[in-house]
Structures are given as structure tokens and as C-alpha cells.
């Protein structure tokens, strides 16, 4: 396995990475909520939102992002 050439740029700019990190935090929040069991937050709320952000990460992975993909003609800036 080999990292892509511009991995650091992708890590900073890619929406799929941002959504994946958000999903990680929401999953951790769901675990914390289940451990604390506050009455105000129904079970599964953070898990549901985490699932949606995971879906968004998958969709974002397929979308072209000019900051990463280069110019419209396919060349790098």
C-alpha cells in the first residue's frame, strides 16, 4: 500500500475526510450518551446522524473538488 502523492493536500481539503472525521466524533458521542444515559437525548440520535455523515462522506468521495482535482480541463493548477 502506498500513499497518494498529494496526501497532505487531500487530508486538508477533501470533504470525504471531513465527513468521516465528523462521523467518528458523532459515534464517540453516541457511546458517551449511552454510558451517561441523559434523559434529554433519546438513544440512537448521534448514531443516526453519524450514519448520515458516513453516507455524505461516500458521496463526497465521488464528487470533483476543484481544490484537489485541478482545473476544469483536468490539468493541475
DSSP string, 15-76: HHHHHHHHHHHHHHHHHHHHHH--TTS-TTHHHHHHHHHHHHHHHHHHS--HHHH-STTS--
> How much is the pLDDT for 69?
67
Percentage of the chain with pLDDT > 70? 87
Q: Are 65 and 13 in contact (CB under 8 A)?
A: yes
pLDDT tens column, 49-67: 889 999 999 888 888 777 7
CA distance 41 to 54: 21
Task: Compute the average pLDDT of residues 27-55.
Answer: 83
Q: What pLDDT was estimated at residue 56?
A: 92
Amino acid at each position: 500500500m502506498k500513499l497518494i502523492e498529494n496526501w497532505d493536500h487531500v487530508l486538508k481539503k477533501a470533504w470525504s475526510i471531513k465527513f468521516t472525521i465528523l462521523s467518528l466524533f458523532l459515534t464517540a458521542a453516541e457511546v458517551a450518551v449511552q454510558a451517561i444515559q441523559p434523559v434529554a437525548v433519546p438513544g440512537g440520535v448521534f448514531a443516526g446522524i453519524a450514519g448520515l455523515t458516513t453516507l455524505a462522506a461516500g458521496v463526497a468521495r465521488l464528487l470533483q473538488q476543484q481544490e484537489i482535482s485541478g482545473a476544469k480541463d483536468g490539468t493541475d493548477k
